[in-house]
């Protein structure tokens, strides 16, 4: 009897420890999550990379890598929605160049330099449209292509040359990426639709279809992972 | 404590436990949308089920991993981790067979990631180690909370 009572106590102690471990675990996770959230600073809106109605009810912030093929799909999908619902959407693009991508940073740099000359949207459209052409090029050849696109949209080549050498501009792209990491971004494209995080083009499509009351169309080739992930 | 003896099974147990704790924790401290998108990319679950799985799985990884690390409810927690490893193997294998456009597994959150074939190798090794630990449970549970309570009940 005494042994049975002791075993019961032991059983209870073990359950108590189990509960304590689970409780501490949950506490640790939520503590770290809230610490991460408090590290997020207010975001600066960059007007040169914002398009659409400033009074729009749907505000979308896209974090993209110009070398990411899913980002290109997402960009053109959003463009279609912007044309269809011009007064309802405001879109802002932010850079999240993926470190493993050879041309991610350079393409973002050229895009930012085009923004400084007021031609961001023209440049980025061409850049993404021609993505398949420059993705697999060498660094030098890709840069040449970026300059050709810049010329096509009418950028001043001397200002462009100065801009691409500007360390402050490079730092601004990196700090934008850091901002994205603090928001918990691990893949591109990642969107924030009125503050709600949406990852990948498929989920963007689903979310937009829900918002605008449209039927979600199944598209060929949109299976599997649609983006770049993990630095 | 009697019966406390560090042995290779305990070392493996601690390593495996740490591995899953790290994996689960990394996923949990980041927005759930990231892991949900990764799960959807394997094209096994629909959006809603992927959302549920994305919430549950990291917790199971973390807690089972921690229990293995501490040596608490070892048989059950090792079984859970073994089951998860087999499931991961199946999911990754079907992604490779179907040639899904997935570059990296998304296994460890932001920390690092592996190409899919490497994940299959890793899962196979993990599964084998878990089976070995389960087959030698007495040695595996040396220096564990289970062992402590077992000795208490025998005195």
Q: How far apart are CA A173 and CA A167, in angstroms?
A: 10
User: Residue B106 — pLDDT band, cuts 50, 70, 90?
Assistant: low
Q: How far apart are CA A226 and CA B101, in angstroms?
A: 7
Chain A: nearest CA to B116, how far in angstroms? 12
Query: What is chain A's Cα-based Rg?
Result: 23
pLDDT at A30 over 80: yes
Q: A4 vs B78, which has greater pLDDT?
A: B78
Q: How far apart are CA B146 and CA B72, in angstroms?
A: 5
Of B37, B43, B110, the CB nearest to A203: B37
- Residue A67 burial (C-beta neighbours within 10 Å; 0-12, 13-18, 19+): buried
Average pLDDT over residues B95-109: 75
Cross-chain residue pair A25–B66, CB shorter than 8 Å:
yes
- Residue B25 burial (C-beta neighbours within 10 Å; 0-12, 13-18, 19+): buried
Cross-chain residue pair A223–B33, CB shorter than 8 Å:
no
Largest CA distance in chain B: 58
Scored b (16 or more CB within 10 A) or e, B47-76 reads: eeebbebbeebbbbbbbbbbbbbbbbbbee
| Count of CA atoms in the C-beta half-sphere (13 A) of B43 | 17
Of A17, A183, A187, the CB nearest to B145: A17
Chain A: nearest CA to B56, how far in angstroms? 13
Cross-chain residue pair A13–B149, CB shorter than 8 Å:
yes
Of A14, A181, A224, the CB nearest to B41: A224
Please give the pLDDT value at position B84. 95
Tens of pLDDT along B5-58? 678 999 999 999 999 999 999 899 989 999 999 899 899 999 999 999 999 999
How many beta-carbon pairs below 8 A join chains A and B? 98
Percent of chain A topping pLDDT 90 = 73
Chain A residues close to B62, C-beta within 8 Å: 25, 29
In this structure, what token pair is assigned to residue A127? 């850049």
Local structure of A190: helix, strand or coil? strand
Nearest to B3 by CA among B148, B155, B126: B148
Chain A residues close to B145, C-beta within 8 Å: 14, 17
Q: Give this complex's ipTM.
A: 0.84
Q: How far apart are CA A182 and CA A38, in angstroms?
A: 9
Chain B residues close to A227, C-beta within 8 Å: 37
Residue A11's closest chain B neighbor by CA? B149
Q: How far apart are CA B106 and CA B17, in angstroms?
A: 19
pLDDT at A227 over 90: no
pLDDT at A39 over 70: no
Element (H, E) at A10: helix A2-38
Nearest to A124 by CA among A189, A175, A181: A189
Local structure of A189: helix, strand or coil? coil
Nearest to B63 by CA among A29, A152, A219: A29
CA A49 remoteness from chain centre:
14
Cross-chain residue pair B109–A202, CB shorter than 8 Å:
no
Q: How many CB atoms lie within 10 A of CB B128?
A: 12
Q: How far apart are CA B14 and CA A228, in angstroms?
A: 32
Please give the pLDDT value at position B125. 95
Cross-chain residue pair B153–A6, CB shorter than 8 Å:
yes
Q: A142-151, B101-110, B139-148 — which is least confidently predicted?
A: B101-110
Say which residues have a Cβ less than 8 Å from residue B154's Cβ, sequence separation at least 6: none
In this structure, what token pair is assigned to residue A200? 């990948």
Chain A residues close to B66, C-beta within 8 Å: 21, 25
Q: A35-49, B62-76, B86-100 — which is least confidently predicted?
A: A35-49
Tens of pLDDT along A168-214? 999 999 999 999 998 999 888 999 999 999 999 999 999 999 999 88
How high does pLDDT run on average in chain B? 89
Please give the pLDDT value at position A7. 75
Please give the pLDDT value at position A219. 46
Q: A220 vs A57, which has greater pLDDT?
A: A57
Please give the pLDDT value at position A220. 40
């Amino acid at each position: 009897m005494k042994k049975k009572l002791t075993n019961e106590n032991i059983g209870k102690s073990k359950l108590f420890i189990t509960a304590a471990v689970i409780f501490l675990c949950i506490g640790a996770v939520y503590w770290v999550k809230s610490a991460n959230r408090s590290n997020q600073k207010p975001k600066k809106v960059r007007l040169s990379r914002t398009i659409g109605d400033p009074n729009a009810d749907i505000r979308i912030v896209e974090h993209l890598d110009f070398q990411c093929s899913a980002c290109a799909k997402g960009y053109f999908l959003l463009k279609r929605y912007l044309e269809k619902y011009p007064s309802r959407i405001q879109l802002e693009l932010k850079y999240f160049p993926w470190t493993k991508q050879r041309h991610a940073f350079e393409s973002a740099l050229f895009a930012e330099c085009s923004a400084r000359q007021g031609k961001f949207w023209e440049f980025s459209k061409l850049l993404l449209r021609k993505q398949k052409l420059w993705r697999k090029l060498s660094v030098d050849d890709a840069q040449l292509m970026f300059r050709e696109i810049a010329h096509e949209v009418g950028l001043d080549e001397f200002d462009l040359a100065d801009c691409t050498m500007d360390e402050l501009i490079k730092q601004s792209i990196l700090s934008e990426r850091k901002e994205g990491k603090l928001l918990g971004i691990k893949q591109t494209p990642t969107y924030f639709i009125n503050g709600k995080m949406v990852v990948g083009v498929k989920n963007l499509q689903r979310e937009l279809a829900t918002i605008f009351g449209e039927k979600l169309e199944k598209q060929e080739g949109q299976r599997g992972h649609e983006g770049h992930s993990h630095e | 404590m009697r019966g406390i003896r560090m042995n290779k099974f305990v070392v493996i147990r601690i390593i495996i436990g740490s591995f899953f704790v790290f994996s689960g924790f990394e996923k949990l401290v980041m927005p759930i949308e990231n892991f949900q998108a990764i799960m959807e990319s394997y094209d096994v679950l629909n959006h809603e089920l992927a959302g549920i799985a994305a919430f549950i799985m990291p917790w199971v990884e973390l807690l089972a991993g921690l229990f293995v690390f501490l040596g608490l409810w070892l048989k059950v927690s090792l079984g859970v981790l073994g089951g998860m490893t087999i499931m991961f193997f199946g999911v990754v294998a079907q992604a490779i067979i179907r040639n899904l456009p997935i570059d990296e597994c998304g296994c460890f959150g932001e920390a690092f990631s592996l190409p899919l074939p490497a994940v299959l190798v890793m899962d196979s090794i993990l599964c084998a180690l878990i089976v070995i630990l389960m087959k030698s449970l007495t040695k595996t549970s040396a220096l564990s909370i289970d062992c402590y309570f077992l000795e208490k009940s025998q005195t």
